[in-house]
Amino acid sequence: MPTFIGTAIVMKVYFNGDRAYVAQLEKALEACVRGRFIGHGYDGEIGRIDVMKTLIKGGLRTFLETEREICQAFHNKVHNILHEYHSRLIRNLTKGKWGEDYRDDWQQIVDDLKLSTRLYIAYGSNMEQSQMLSRCPNAKRIGKTYLKDWELTIPFYANIEKKKGKQTPAFVWEITDRDENSLDVYEGYPYAYDKTNIVINVEGKTVSAMAYVMTEQYKNSDKQPYDGYIEEILRGYREAGFDEAEFQPRSME
């Protein structure tokens, strides 16, 4: 815990205007990532909750929104903790191994860290501009990227799965919280698709961005894509500047 308290203090000083502390902040954040955010046994999750609350006091929400290029591993870690909390809250899976209930603490953390904007990775039909803007009218185009060590699959709708040595073309948008709520509905979050953050390079910057990943339960369901679905993805490829030949999903047969 002392590492995280120190990080919260450095973060607060940084946001009070002393930007000379950026090197110290980066070192503190890297130490946090090495600290894993969680203890062992019964108190493991309590420790993680305490860490998150401590960092919130230091200005974590502002950091996540405004300092995307500082310590991407830290961004990834925090966002993925939040995705876990939010998903489990919706699915009513808030109890630990010994029956302890974390609902109130998780809800407080999720509420405190609700971002007004975030980066979103589209690798399927949401690469296509007209569809994306119909769903998320406030979305802003950022640029194209490749998801390294992720493979595109199409069980029926597009999905990505971790695969060493593969890469998947994708397009990055900046979306508002209202846009994200809209996407959650379209993607059937968290039952059809859950969320994960991935470190990517876009427009010459290394950042952490959110992607939807199909759940195992949904992947094995009996679904069919709507007519024109693949054509929408290919339009998105062309609009983003990819060659259609780069559309190489792994066969699910």
Give the pLDDT confidence score for residue 2 in this predicted structure. Answer: 56
Encode 100-136 in three state secondary structure. Answer: CECHHHHHHHHHHCCCCEEEEEECCHHHCHHHHHHHC
Q: pTM for this one?
A: 0.94
Instruction: Reply yes or no on whether the pLDDT at 113 is more than 70.
Output: yes
Answer yes or no: do 155 and 52 share one domain: no
Answer yes or no: do 95 and 193 share one domain: no
Question: What Å distances lie between residue 235 and 98, 228, 249, CA to CA?
Answer: 50, 11, 16
Adjacent-strand bridge partners of 170: 145
Is 122 annotated as a binding-site member? Answer: yes
Instruction: Reply yes or no on whether the pLDDT at 192 is more than 70.
Output: yes
Is 120 annotated as a binding-site member? Answer: yes
| 5 in Cβ contact with 51 (< 8 Å) | no
Is 23 annotated as a binding-site member? Answer: no
Answer yes or no: do 148 and 99 share one domain: no
Backbone angles phi, psi at 162, to 5 degrees: -65, 130
Give the pLDDT confidence score for residue 6 in this predicted structure. Answer: 87
Answer yes or no: do 175 and 101 share one domain: no
* CATH number for the domain harbouring residue 209: 3.10.490.10
User: What total of structural domains would you count in the chain?
Assistant: 2
* Catalytic residue of the set 187, 203, 244, 253: 187
Is 193 annotated as a binding-site member? Answer: no
- Can you give the residue range of the structural domain that contains 64? 2-112
Q: Is 187 a catalytic residue?
A: yes
